Structure 1
Amino acid sequence: MSLSIILGLAFFGIIFLIWIVARMGTSTVKAGSRQMVGEIESSLADAFVFVNRQKMAAWSMVAIVGLPILALLLSHSIIIALATVPIALTLPKKYLAHMRKKRIDTLEKQLPDALLMLSGALRAGASFPTALEAVVHEAAAPISQEFDLLMREIRLGIDLDVAMRNVEKRIPVPDFMMVTAAVSIAREVGGNLAEALESVARTLREKLQMEGKIKALTSQGRMQGIVMTCLPLFLMLVLRFMEPKAMAPLFNQPVGWATLAVISIMEFLGYKSITKITNIDV
């Protein structure tokens, strides 16, 4: 494909994207855009991540517009450029999921130390709200933010069981259910809450150590999955630039498009299979 054709396609693509942006003045598109951005902003706020709505919408539009154009300029294929549109549309939600997962992983690592601090305060004779306040002041975010919100709910008169269940909804971690169970049992039946929390903290710490060992042992398999997935795509791009005539039917003919579709499906299934094998839940 000649340079003039590529520039012409890029020009028409830009004109088409400008037309789409202009059409965004309609009420339906604006309402849909506001709803999507509002959902993302609300989810980020639940994770104590506050961003500007206008900046989020602008960066989402840049990803949706820029990725297909970049794919068109690199691959010289409209099919590949169109194939990147669904990826660009899912990028904001993928980024949100990554941020939430990172926060949850940090919470899991901080939870045993926070429970030991809470247990120590209870052993020193402090009440449960006072011990929570000590953890809020001493611990780092994000665990301090969650315990601070728990403490505020208790001060507002919300029942402790209800407040703990609210924390479970914000922290979808099975480990925190053990904390809720320990607090509920100590409250209803009686017993040493400090000792129960210390036992839960030891169990969670041992679980984290086991998960770390498993992650280290399966790191080679995960890296092999990434390399084996990216290697065919890298070779295809190299051959595209080294032998453009030989690779042209793969991008310009229906048989080549079907081949690319099969390759994409097989690559996706292979990567998912390797990820499933190396993902060992404790």
Structure 2
Amino acid sequence: MNALADHGLGIDMVVAYIALGIGMTILALGVVFGGFFAERRLRDRLEELKSRTRSGHRAIQMATLRRAENVGRLATVDRLLWRWLPNAGSIRRKLQASGMKVSLGEFALAALALALAVAFVLKVLLGLPSLVAFLGALAIGAGVPNFVVGRKARRRGQKFNLLFPEAVDLMVRALRAGLPVQEALGNVARDIKDPVGSIFLQAQQEIQLGVPIETALWRVAQTVQTDEFNFLIVAMSIQRDTGGNLAETLANLSALLRARQQLRLKIRAFTSEARATMLIMSGLPFVVCGLLLVVSPSYIKPLFTTTTGLTVAAAAGCSMAIGIFIMNKIATIKV
């Protein structure tokens, strides 16, 4: 109490700041998990469609393929993470979608090394309190690797969507020429560059092992995670069940994909100002804080070494997190 009074901060004010931070955090979690459950329902529907293509003896082949795929240079660490890490499957799918040849164990060790390096800089070089160094290392060690992997996955997905209509057109031409579906997939694997070509090549290799076409496509869809590729698989599954002209169906799908791409580019142009504002407003406080730490450490050090400063920093961090999340939602329009 005396320390709080010395710094000019009453206990009521501290309680108010803490309550404000907790309330903002609960609000942010409610918004995040509301979207999470909606996306989970969509994933459950896709999983139901995939389950229709699976059969008994095929499950053994699929398990063999998964075991071969999960073997890495840090197999023991991978197994431990698979057992104890709550979101191990989500991280692995994100690594696959990014195209990085990195296992779950290597990703975890890289994040741990980054966290230790940040803790050393904050504690030893800058002399910040242990709690601040720990929280900063935890945030950067967990946030930066996820941000990098997620960004690479989004860029790979955008590149895939840009080339995918050409792949569908190539399949249409092959089917109209009288080639079977498997040969049409092989043409795409040979003639379309990465990442589309490598995705279809992986599907073709699994088909050659005896895996059904839809099952192989659903498996490789996990490594790209785009709605456009899911459209192709659903269209082929429906055509197999109901019959009809697959070439005509895929031609209509190609036109739809090109229209979606044009609409996505228009929306990106319309929201460019909002995205630029979000980046500037979210990055400016960190830039100013970093410059002050270099130019005048004594001026900003009370923000991390006093009770008043830590309370203000915590409230500001919660407020910024909610603001960035809201601005990102405003500037992001899914097509």
Q: Report the TM-score, using the length of structure 1 for normalisation.
A: 0.75
Report the CA distance shift for 1:137/1:259 in structure 2 as closer, same or farther (over 3 A): same
For the residues of structure 2 that align with 1:186 and 1:52, how far apart are their CA atoms? 37
2:99 and 2:292 map into 1 onto residues whose CA distance is 46
Q: 1:35 matched to which residue of 2?
A: 80
* 2:227 counterpart of 1:174: yes
Using the TM superposition, give the Cα deviation of residue 100 of structure 1 relative to its aligned residue in structure 2, in angstroms.
2.8
1:98 counterpart residue number: 151
Is residue 37–residue 56 contact of structure 1 (8 Å, CA) maintained in 2? no
SS at match of 2:211: coil
8 Å CA contact retained: 1:107, 1:142: yes
For residues 259-278 of structure 1, what are the structure 2 equivalents within 5 Å? Answer: 259-278=312-331
Deviates more, 1:66-75 or 1:180-189: 66-75
Q: Distance in 1 between matches of 2:207 and 2:244?
A: 21
| Distance in 1 between residues matched to 2:300 and 2:96, nearest whole Å | 48
Gap change, CA 1:229 and 1:99, over 3 Å in 2: closer
Alignment of 1:76-115 (within 5 A): 76-78=127-129, 79-90=131-142, 91-115=144-168
Higher relative contact order, structure no. (Cα contacts within 8 Å, ≥ 6 residues apart)? 2
Partner of 1:219: 272
**2:19 alignment counterpart:** none
Q: Deviations over 1:65-97 (max 9, x none)?
A: 212223346754224322212124314344333
> Is the contact between residue 98 and residue 224 of structure 2 (CA under 8 Å) also seen in structure 1?
no
Q: Which residue of 2 aligns with 1:156?
A: 209
Q: What amino acid maps onto 2:230 in structure 1?
A: M
Shift of 1:186: 2.7
Give, as a single letter, the amino acid of the residue that structure 1 aligns with 2:132.
Answer: I
Alignment of structure 1 residues 109-124 onto 2, 5 Å: 109-124=162-177
Match of 1:5 in 2: none
Percent same amino acid at aligned positions? 25
Amino acid at match of 2:179: A
Unaligned runs of 5+ in 1: 1-29
Aligned to 1:252: 305
- TM (normalized to structure 2)? 0.65
Mapped partners of 1:163, 1:72: distance in 2? 50
Alpha-carbon deviation of 1:203? 0.5
Residues 1:247 and 1:194: Cα distance change in structure 2 (over 3 Å): same
CA 201–34 in structure 1, closer or farther in 2 if over 3 Å, else same: same
Question: 2:183: which partner in 1?
Answer: 130
Does residue 71 (structure 1) correspond to residue 89 (structure 2)? The answer is no
- Number of residue pairs the alignment of both structures matches: 253
**1:206 alignment counterpart:** 259
Residue segments in structure 2 that go unaligned for 5+ positions in a row: 1-74
Number of the residue aligned with 1:19: none
Greater shift in the superposed pair: 111-120 or 237-246: 237-246
Paired residues of 2:98 and 2:150 also in contact (CA < 8 A): no
Query: Given residue 281 of structure 1, which amino acid in structure 2 is its aligned partner?
Result: K
Q: Distance in 1 between matches of 2:331 and 2:320?
A: 17
Q: 1:121 to 1:261 in 2, by over 3 A?
A: same
Change (3 A) 1:271 1:48: closer
Q: Is the 8 A contact 1:249 1:256 kept in 2?
A: yes
